[in-house]
């Protein structure tokens, strides 16, 4: 399990080694045909900032080599905002007074029609973490409704047991996103004081359970702003490298969510500016040219208009971060505030104007046998 490897590292020692990297370390990393995690430390270090243009050019070349001029489009569909966790940064937190909603079958179909009308064939199902209300049985019924309408189904819900994932995969589940939020165990406990999510180790073991259950693609990441983003990103890269080595038949993606305003909003402990986010995206691409790199509507229109030409291969557009937000309950409280509020059509036009192809579908149910 990854927890065995994780236990051999010390957060403070890793952080110190990142901040000790020099320009010579960065130049060495950029000149190598293949990079390792020590090179990744150099590329995310403050010493790499003067080399950002060089990193961006190399990241673009590696992305073009593997993915060509394509951008995968996906839409999140929130099924429920019910949650039994208290999280200091989330609008769905249990201690946040709000109207709780879980979509029924009829409402799910109504949302499907709205999302399909935007052109999407790749959907990301999102819920709060409430096992009794939105547990495995609910997911099974939802997948049966959703599967005939979409070629690719992803989920970002509470961590489940391996046996639960094994039940969902035959029903059309292709991808699961599970973010550790932060790899700093002490701070993790501060931000998750109540609920099943407070179990740091159970969440850390989730990608292992996904790999063993045969999930085709696993998405990982951290919530940027909870802790030092450079150190958190190193541990995320360490986790990714372990997963690729252990579950080599599975595909992987990395996302870059920065803290956004929400009800009960937490002020970020560390603020990452746009140049630093570009640095991190480029560092991941230079480390690993095979992974998908995804960006959401948390980021600004201006930032998203350019970042797909540097390393991002997947993005959402027209997103609603509340259950029923596309058609049923458009005014209900969102999990966080979206920054880029353009329609999918508008975003797709920008991508095409840059000479890129918009990919609405990159998988077919026929591949599932």
List, in order of start, the domains of the chain with CATH numbers. Answer: 72-228+248-274+286-368 (3.20.20.70)
Question: Contact at 8 Å (CB) between 132 and 80?
Answer: no
Instruction: Say which residues have a Cβ less than 8 Å from residue 148's Cβ, sequence separation at least 6.
Output: none
Question: Where residue 271 falls among pLDDT bands split at 50, 70, 90?
Answer: confident
Asked whether the predicted pLDDT for residue 180 surpasses 70, the reply is: yes
Asked whether the predicted pLDDT for residue 149 surpasses 80, the reply is: yes
Q: Distance between CA 162 and CA 36 in Å, rounded? A: 30
User: Model's pTM, two decimal places?
Assistant: 0.94
Question: Where residue 337 falls among pLDDT bands split at 50, 70, 90?
Answer: low
More confident residue, 96 or 80: 80
Going by C-alpha positions, the residue among 212, 208, 217 that lies closest to residue 122 is 217
Strand extents, DSSP E, 121-171: 122-127, 152-156
- If one counts every other C-beta atom within 10 angstroms of the C-beta of residue 5, the result is 13
In percent, the amount of the chain with pLDDT more than 70 equals: 94
Residue 344 to residues 112, 156, 246, 340: CA-CA distances in angstroms? 15, 21, 36, 11
Q: Is 102 helix (H, G, I), strand (E, B) or coil?
A: strand
Q: Torsion angle, CA of 205/207/210/215, rounded to 10 degrees?
A: 180
Q: For 221-237, what is each residue's pLDDT tens digit?
A: 999 999 999 999 999 99
Average pLDDT over residues 283-291: 97
The alpha-helical segments, DSSP class H, found in 20-156 are: 23-31, 37-44, 52-67, 105-117, 136-146
Question: Contact at 8 Å (CB) between 326 and 113?
Answer: no
Going by C-alpha positions, the residue among 108, 107, 106 that lies closest to residue 143 is 108
H-helix or E-strand spanning residue 358: strand 357-359
Asked whether the predicted pLDDT for residue 335 surpasses 60, the reply is: no
Mean pLDDT, all residues of the chain? 92
pLDDT of residue 259: 83
Q: For 231-258, what is each residue's pLDDT tens digit?
A: 999 999 999 999 999 999 999 999 999 9
More confident residue, 34 or 95: 34
Q: For 343-367, what is each residue's pLDDT tens digit?
A: 999 999 999 999 999 999 876 666 6
Find where tokens 């030092």 sit.
Answer: 228
pLDDT of residue 263: 43
The neighbouring-strand residues paired with 173 are 153
Residues 216, 90, 78: CA angle, nearest 5 degrees: 50
Q: Is 36 helix (H, G, I), strand (E, B) or coil?
A: coil
Asked whether the predicted pLDDT for residue 331 surpasses 80, the reply is: no
Instruction: Say which residues have a Cβ less than 8 Å from residue 341's Cβ, sequence separation at least 6.
Output: 297
Q: Distance between CA 328 and CA 354 in Å, rounded? A: 35
Average pLDDT over residues 44-56: 98
């Amino acid at each position: 399990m990854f927890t065995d490897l994780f236990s051999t590292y010390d957060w403070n020692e890793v952080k110190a080694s990142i901040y000790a990297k020099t320009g010579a370390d960065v130049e060495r990393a950029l000149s190598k045909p293949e990079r390792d995690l020590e090179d990744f430390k150099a590329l995310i270090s403050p010493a790499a900032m003067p080399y950002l243009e060089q990193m961006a050019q190399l990241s673009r070349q590696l992305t073009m080599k593997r993915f060509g001029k394509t951008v995968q489009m996906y839409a999140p569909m929130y099924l429920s905002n019910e949650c039994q966790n208290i999280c200091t940064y989330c609008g769905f937190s249990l201690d946040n007074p709000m109207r709780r909603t879980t979509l029924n079958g009829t409402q799910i179909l109504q949302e499907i029609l709205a999302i399909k009308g935007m052109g999407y064939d790749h959907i990301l199902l999102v819920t709060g973490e409430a096992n009794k209300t939105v547990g495995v049985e609910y997911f099974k019924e939802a997948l049966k409704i959703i599967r005939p309408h979409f070629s690719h189904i992803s989920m970002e819900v509470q961590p489940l047991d391996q046996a639960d994932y094994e039940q969902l995969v035959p029903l059309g589940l292709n991808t699961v996103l599970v973010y550790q939020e932060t790899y700093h165990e002490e701070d993790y406990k501060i931000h998750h004081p109540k609920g099943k999510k407070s179990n740091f180790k159970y969440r850390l073991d989730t990608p292992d359970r996904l790999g063993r259950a045969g999930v085709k693609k696993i998405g990982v990441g951290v919530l940027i702003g909870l802790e030092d983003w450079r150190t958190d990103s190193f541990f995320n890269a360490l986790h990714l490298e372990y997963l690729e080595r252990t579950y080599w038949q599975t595909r992987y993606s990395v996302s870059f969510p920065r803290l956004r305003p929400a009800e009960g909003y937490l002020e970020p402990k560390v603020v990452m500016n746009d140049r630093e986010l570009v640095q991190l995206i480029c560092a991941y691409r230079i480390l690993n040219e095979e992974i998908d790199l995804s960006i959401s509507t948390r980021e600004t229109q201006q930032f998203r208009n350019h970042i797909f030409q540097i390393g991002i291969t997947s993005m959402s557009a027209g997103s609603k971060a509340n259950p029923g937000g596309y058609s049923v309950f458009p005014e209900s409280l969102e999990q966080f505030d979206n920054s880029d509020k353009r329609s999918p059509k508008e975003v797709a036009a920008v991508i095409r104007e840059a000479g890129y192809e918009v990919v609405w579908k990159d998988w077919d149910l026929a591949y599932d046998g």
